[in-house]
Each structure stands twice: as C-alpha cells, then as structure tokens.
C-alpha cells in the first residue's frame, strides 16, 4: 500500500477485508493479536510482512502509518486511543465505539494531533450509497426512510454478552441507522421498543422523527428480516434490495412509479477496500475527515444509539 497499514484483531471481518484488499493488490504490512498464534496464521494466509508480539509493539513501529482496528466492540476505544497516542492514523471497525463519549474523545485526540480517525462503516463508501445524496436531492428531498437488518445469528455467543459489547443495535442496527443519518442527520426524537436477552437488545424497532420527515428501522439477531431499504422522496422513491448494506441493486422511481434508473455496485469482492482508498485520500490531501463521512456523522449515530440503548435499558460494563 502507499501507506503501511497495520491490523489489530485478525478475526472474521479482518479476513474479509484482507481478501478485498488483495483483489486490488494491497496487503497489510503488520498484524497483532491478543493471541500471537492467530496473528502468525493470518500473516501466512494473507501476505502480511510482519507479525508483532503485542499491540503496543506494533503501534510503536515507525514504519506503520495507519492502523485498522478490527477487534470486538469493547476493544475499539482503548486500542484506537493507544494507536492515536502513538501517532498513527486510525480506521476503526463499526461500531466506532461503545458510546458517544468514547467516540468524542477519540476524535478530540486525533484532531489535536492532526491525525485521521474514521469509522469503518464500509457501506457508506459503496457506489450506490455514494450516489444517494444527489439522487434524493433530484427527487425533491427525503420524506421517509424504512430499513431493516435482521438476521438469525443468535448462535453467535458474543452477541448475547454485555461484557463483549453484544446486542443487535451495535452490530447490525448501525447499518440502517447510518443510512438514515446520512440522508436525514440526527433525529429530533426517537421512540423505540424491543426485547432484551441477557441484558442486551436481541431485537428492536425504532421510530425517528425529523422536521418534515420520519424514519423507521428494525434490527435483530433472532430472526430473518427483509434486509432492504426504501427511501420516499417528494418526487419519487428509491428501493435498495437485499442486502441493502452490501453491493445490492438500487432502483430509482419517479412520482408515478416508473423506474428511471438503477445502480448495482461492482467493486472487487465485497467492496470493503473502498473505505481504505477513501481514508488514504483524506490523508494525502491533508484533511482530517472525508466530506462524505464526517466525524459528526459517526458521532450522530453514536449519540442516537446511546439514546436507543438508554430507552431499552442496555448498559455495558464500565458505562
């Protein structure tokens, strides 16, 4: 890569990212894990040059310019903070942090040290999501958004454990909520209902109110949902098919219901490399954030997720 990237947390999502990066002939320079054997195995499988014995050792390496944090949710904040304090640019896997306070502190540290810190919400860098602001503007502005990300993965033990940052919202609901935030910003108010399991949300339905607009999203790890999105505008509507957060077909309709255009993204692999390309461009241009996905965008989402969790009574250890 033009920038030497280090990887913290060589788990499932990191493997998907590494495959997509390899598709454009990009590879991580270094990797570290709490389990050194996993780091070594990942390096062998995905062409990583250097295996570090600890995160601290990796962050201290002057050859590394940026770090991708792909660990489980509660580790995002402390590891990103360590990397920033070591002078590295940091891309943090979604959810950015456990709560808005942590997100704000990371952004403050990054800004005060002229470093880039960004949430790896990869969907926002896919072709169809990138096209939405202009399309909705041409359709007279957004009136409502409905989106779902529900899938039956209740067998994943991490999702039911508060100590591991579990719950449907942070892992799944962040996608529809980020879509809504991209189109409408932070809600004026939110009403939510849901079911808990072991102290975390296993499913929920949230209604978001805006001046002149509304949005609804559903999420859960206990049942299969449509995993689609519909955006209604003044002069037409947009449908994003299953799975809306991936490279799904997006169709645009006029006020009479006639299809006027469609986009089906065709990035290599899943398209997860796109966020890295945008991140590198931000650094190259000497900016602190991407205009298409700002620090405020991530903070809005974190603040709304805090509100939703507070209404449901989901509290993580240490909060």
The parent domain of residue 83 ranges over 5-123+277-287
Identify the pLDDT of residue 2.
Answer: 78
In a domain, 292, yes or no: no
Q: Are residues 176 and 308 in the same domain?
A: yes
Q: Are residues 167 and 222 in the same domain?
A: yes
Residues in the chain predicted with pLDDT less than 50, given as ranges, are: none
Q: Are residues 90 and 138 in the same domain?
A: no
In a domain, 47, yes or no: yes
In a domain, 317, yes or no: no
Q: Are residues 114 and 146 in the same domain?
A: no
Question: Two tokens at 299?
Answer: 């903070």
Q: Are residues 11 and 104 in the same domain?
A: yes
Identify which of 147, 106, 101 has the alpha carbon closest to the alpha carbon of residue 123.
147
Q: Are strands 30-32 and 5-8 parallel, antiparallel or unpaired?
A: parallel
In the chain, how long is the greatest CA-to-CA distance? Answer: 61
State the total domains in the chain: 2
Tens of pLDDT along 124-162?
999 999 999 999 999 999 999 999 999 999 999 999 999
CATH number for the domain spanning 264: value is 3.30.360.10
Q: Are residues 187 and 68 in the same domain?
A: no
Q: Are residues 63 and 191 in the same domain?
A: no
Distances (CA, A) of 277 to 1, 63, 120, 129, 272: 10, 19, 12, 16, 10
CATH number for the domain spanning 81: value is 3.40.50.720
Tens of pLDDT along 254-294?
999 999 999 999 999 999 999 999 999 999 999 999 999 99
**Which residues partner with 52 through β-bridges?**
none
Q: Are residues 282 and 244 in the same domain?
A: no
């Amino acid at each position: 890569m033009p920038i030497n990237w280090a990887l913290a947390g060589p788990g499932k999502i990191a493997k998907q990212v590494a495959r997509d990066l390899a598709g454009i002939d990009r590879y991580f320079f270094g990797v570290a894990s709490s389990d050194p054997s996993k780091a070594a195995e990942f390096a062998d499988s995905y062409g990583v040059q250097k295996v570090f014995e600890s995160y601290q050792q990796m962050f201290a390496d002057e050859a590394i310019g940026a770090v991708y944090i792909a660990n489980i949710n509660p580790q995002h904040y402390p590891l990103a903070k360590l990397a920033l304090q070591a002078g590295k640019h940091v891309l943090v896997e979604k959810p950015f942090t456990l709560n808005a306070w942590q997100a704000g502190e990371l952004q403050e540290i990054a800004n005060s040290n002229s470093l880039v810190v960004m949430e790896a919400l990869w969907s926002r860098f896919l072709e169809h999501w990138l096209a939405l602001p202009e399309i909705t503007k041409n359709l007279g502005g957004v009136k409502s958004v409905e989106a779902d990300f529900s899938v039956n993965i209740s067998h994943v033990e991490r999702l039911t454990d508060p100590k591991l940052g579990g719950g449907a919202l942070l892992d799944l609901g962040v996608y529809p909520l980020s879509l809504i935030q991209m189109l409408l910003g932070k809600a004026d108010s939110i009403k939510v209902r849901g079911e808990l399991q072991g102290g975390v949300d296993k499913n929920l339905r949230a209604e978001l109110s805006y001046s002149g607009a509304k949005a609804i999203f559903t999420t859960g790890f206990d049942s299969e949902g449509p995993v689609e999105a519909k955006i209604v505008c003044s002069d037409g509507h947009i449908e994003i098919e299953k799975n809306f957060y991936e490279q799904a077909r997006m169709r645009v309709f006029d006020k009479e219901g006639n299809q006027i255009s469609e986009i089906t993204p065709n990035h290599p692999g899943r398209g997860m490399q796109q966020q890295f390309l945008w991140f590198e461009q931000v650094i190259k241009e000497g900016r602190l954030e991407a205009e298409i996905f700002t620090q405020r965008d991530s903070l809005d989402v974190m603040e709304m997720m805090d509100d939703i969790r507070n209404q449901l009574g989901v509290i993580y250890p240490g909060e």
